[in-house]
A and B are shown apart, each in its own frame.
Chain A
Amino acid sequence: MVDDRGTPRPGTGLLDHLTATSLDEDYAHVSERRAAAGSSSRGRPGTAALVVLAVFGVLVATAALQTARNAQQSASSRESLVRQVNAGNADLAQRRTDLADLRHEVSVLQSQQLAATSEGRALGQQLDRLGVVTGAAATRGPGIQVVVDDAPHPSSDKELVQAGDLQKLVNGLWLVGAEAISINGQRLTALSPIRDAAGAITVNFRSLTAPYTVSAIGDRKSMGARLLDTAGGQTWLTLESTFGMKFDVESKDTMVLPAARRTSLRYAHMPESTQPPHRDGSGVGGGQ
């Protein structure tokens, strides 16, 4: 494959060439020339070799030191990143606590303000009623609790609880007069989506895991029986008997449903008794 000069013939492998020419050819050339010139002194390292080897030593030591230094640097920068993350997390937690405190303060002030006048008290009662229906306020009361779950040993998607099944159940509960509903602690509002997302059911954009506990506040004596007459109840009875899914209805004396995570004001209008602000009116020059 390789001739004695170490030159590869066409078609020989790169590895063969590398192995054959691993020693610099110059050494052979120079020694040949020296042999031809007659000075047959065996090559010994001299000052130049000493200097080069010293340079090599410096190089090795420097590279080793540099690598060690870099490792130290990356470790310390990682530590400082971890510190920053921890500090950021603590800051975030603090701000969340502040937010909760402030919200509480606002609601206390609001109820104080409303309790001051009779008109305000009526408004406050209306707010409380609306809070129950819209999910803006945490609600306590009697009702029924429906626990649903996948079949014990599911072999196909049909034996798993789907978002559509939960939707039917929830619609059935609204139909039989539920005032407030929550699923696994997620309070439902008029805008709460119940959806399938990546193999899990999400309510209010939070992933839930089975079993699903649907709590509904309302008339606990009649709701359970009437639920079974609705389309949602019928669907679930079928699911229970056909696929062996869990469907337990239980009445509860008192349940506490949390407030919805986030309610945003979408629509507002001025009370009729107040003067419309001048920007709505045509009288541009009319100040108040």
Chain B
Amino acid sequence: MIAAIGLLVGVLLGLLLQPTVPVWLDPYLPIAVVAALDAVFGALRAFLDGIFDDKVFVVSFVSNVLIAALIVYLGDKLGVGGQLSTGVIVVLGIRIFSNVAAIRRHVFHA
């Protein structure tokens, strides 16, 4: 419940304030969103597993976002930004899928 409220408040805030993203941050925003999505689904699964922890969630969220952005930044500097982004997206995508599969097992008991 509290999670849904937080999410809703955040989306509304974003839509209302419409923060402008600095140009240099623009390429890293999508990858940060995917990394954050991974952390959120991980947290949901942990919650359903009954082992959720606030601190772990905060740390995993922040570190996910920062590391994903950092990898892409590094890749951009080395000239392999596109390939590294693809790699990060693939890894995070697989994690999201398997987490969602676990969540599905919890919810539908199937």
Contact = CB atoms under 8 A, between A and B. Distances in A.
A43 interface: yes
Interface residues of B, number: 51
Contacts of A52: 6, 57-58, 61-62
Given A62-B19, A62-B21, A57 B9 contact: yes
Interface in B58-93: 58-62, 65, 91
A50 to B, nearest CB: 4
B46 A27 contact: yes
A22 B52 contact: no
A26 B59 contact: yes
B14 A62 contact: yes
Given A26-B56, A26-B59, A43-B46, A51 B94 contact: no
A61 B37 CA distance: 13
Interface string B24-66: 0010011011001100101101110111111111111110010
A288 B103 CA distance: 102
B98 A45 contact: no
Interface string A18-35: 110011101110110010
A27 B32 contact: no
Interface string A68-84: 00100000000000000
20 contacts: A18-B94, A23-B45, A23-B99, A24-B42, A26-B59, A27-B56, A30-B56, A31-B53, A43-B51, A45-B3, A45-B43, A48-B55, A48-B58, A49-B3, A49-B43, A53-B6, A56-B7, A56-B40, A58-B11, A63-B33
Interface of A: 15, 18-19, 22-24, 26-28, 30-31, 34, 42-63, 65-67, 70
